[in-house]
Amino acid sequence: MWFSFWRSRDRFSLDELRYLTNQLQKVQIVNDVNKDFVIEALRSIAELLTYGDQHDSSFFEFFMEKQVMGEFIRILKISKTVTVSLQLLQTISILIQNLRREHAIYYMFSNEHVNYLITYSFDFRNEELLSYYISFLRAISGKLNKNTISLLLKTQGEEVVSFPLYVEAIRFAFHEESMVRTAVRAITLNVYHVGDEFVNKFIASAPHSDYFSNLVSFFRDQCINLSKLFSERPKNPCSESVSAMLAKVDEIEDNLYYFSDVISAGIPVVGSLITDNILQLLILPLLFPALQIDADSNLKIGAVTSLYLLCCILRIVKIKDLANTIAAALLYPLETFAANSEVKINGYVSGNNCANESEEPLVDSVTPVNAGQLCVDIPNKATSSQVHPGGIIAERDFSCSHLSLRETLLSYVTDGDDARALGSLSVLATLLQTKELDESMLDGLGILPQRKQHKKLLLQALVGEGSGEEQLFSFESGSARDSISSELDGYLKKLKEQYGVSIGGAAASPRIRRNQDSYRNCRSALVQETKGIWVDLLITVLCDQWKKCKRAIEASSPRKEPKCILLPFQKLNSEDIPAESSFTAGERMSELVKVFVLLHQLQIFSLGRTLPEQPPIQPQIDIPEISRARAAGLDVSGPKPGTEVKFVHALPCRIAFERGKERHFHFLAVSVGTLGWVLLAEELPLKQNYGIVRVAAPLAAQNR
């Protein structure tokens, strides 16, 4: 028998297939003696059937006539070795993947042979066997359509009561091996995208619907692990820790893309299940409470990680209800969510409170762009000492004692560290870029661009809605008379009824939120720099930052990935630089100017106006120092060595660079704008009261 197997024959012939099948039928038990023959026979049969599917239909007709699939099952039952099981799974996987004729696939899926293999009790302690089994399931799922899927189901009436492929696959959905998890997700997506109504009902019903809650629970654990890695990074700032964190980031984003792919299958019930589970298991009990100002050490997720996750969820998981519910929840006080979490809120930022809806907005809480000019009011000395750069939040005096989530995000922008400020800005920017979010939600949050507000009011006026016309042409342009829209009301009601989020009253008025702006406070902080040691360079830095910020706002570069929130910030090593040094003061002044310029440009940009090439600085008053520079013949570019100047209030002196060779010079102090110089100019012998600038020493970073 064994010698005849190796005799010379036409390898790709029907006779070869017939011979292998006959020899396989003679096998009564598979053991170490004949396992090699069985393995080779299974492999060769798969090869011959694949060849026949492309060249000769009689090959598969013989396969059906002799019921070779039944022989495969018999061989599996009598086999005592794992290697035969491996080859059998591989053989059938190859057949399913490579058979192109539709009737061939129908035959493979019929007669319950495939379902028997799916539910067979393999020893999955063998990792290689599990890998072949998952590949087998994936091969089956790749051939699913509305016709073939019915061959793998058991039904009673119009109800699906058994679907082994799906049920057995999701058993390994949370396997420790990532390749297994990836394959299982591919299998489930192939099932969802078939679009069979009865199958969809089956997977969305209990207990199979538990898969989606388990999926979100698994994702929640990954988020907690990421937060732990991020919190430990300062203690272990090596490249390995950053790599581990980024690997976890990739895994988390892969999970979210899987959620998105599931939703794209268009199964409404599944989309609702994912939305509810993400809100109830992750966002409401963990992510929102993590945004408290004084974080509790018992929190499982930190604030920065929470901000990153909110950005990812909004950007990747495209569910309208999810995005709008998150936006509506930002109107509630932080304690509403912390009360239902595992910890209590430790504290709030004093003074940064929301106002009651019945109160009128603060008149001076927003500084408008004044005729396009960059204007900074300098207070008198009696009041200037009361203004502090860090007092942006403390200057507000509202009546409510608790921060809303939205106000917490704003506090991170103004008073938070770099990571929290970037995370908060990323969340706000993501909300603006989320297409699934209703404009009414952005309006309620107070971040709807003004040009879109006018567009909405204009449309209301055109269709005859009185309130829209009234607000469009009113003095206040609707910003202070706006009301919470029906869409926002609907999501606030949903938060209360479906998720139990309620504070016993309405959320804070959006008109108050719209008037909370850090521009006025940043301007006050910048005023302090007019008394600092770098005041001479203030306008120069402002003009330079104007160009840079303008390029950044108008650039069409792709947005940053959310993972940049978690990456370590590269900062200048200033351990050896004194805190009160001129270098530190200059660095602080430059950052403050950049923030001020950016806020100012954002106001212009939000109004739909074009940003000018140069900052619209008000002209300087004609003061004696500027008159002296003009009288000396200097232009706005300032003095340079070799420039001819006229001596005005100059101090003559004689300098000898060599013994017996004295030269006549003049010292002259001049200024142009806020820039000043001390000039050393040599007299021109043939031109009285004129000289040539030899040295120009800038007067910068000097206490006055």
The tens digit of pLDDT for each residue in 313-358 reads: 999 998 999 999 999 888 888 777 765 554 433 333 333 333 333 3
Residues 420/230, Cβ–Cβ less than 8 Å: no
The half-sphere exposure of 13 on its side-chain side, counting CA atoms within 13 A, is 7
Closest CA to 42 of 10, 85, 98: 85
Closest CA to 678 of 639, 643, 704, 644: 639
pLDDT digits (tens, 9 = 90+) for 644-690: 888 888 888 888 878 878 888 888 888 776 677 888 899 988 888 89
Q: What are the tokens at 392?
A: 């942006």
Q: Rg of the Cα trace of the chain? A: 37
pLDDT reported for residue 456: 66
Distance CA 517, CA 64 (A): 76
Q: What are the tokens at 557?
A: 């570069």
pLDDT reported for residue 202: 94
pLDDT reported for residue 455: 66
pLDDT reported for residue 458: 67
3-state secondary structure of 344: coil
Closest CA to 326 of 207, 234, 190, 445: 445
Residues of the chain with pLDDT under 50: 1-6, 342-401, 468-469, 472-484, 505-506, 508-516, 572-574, 621-623, 625, 702-704
Query: Whole-structure pTM over 0.85, yes or no?
Result: no
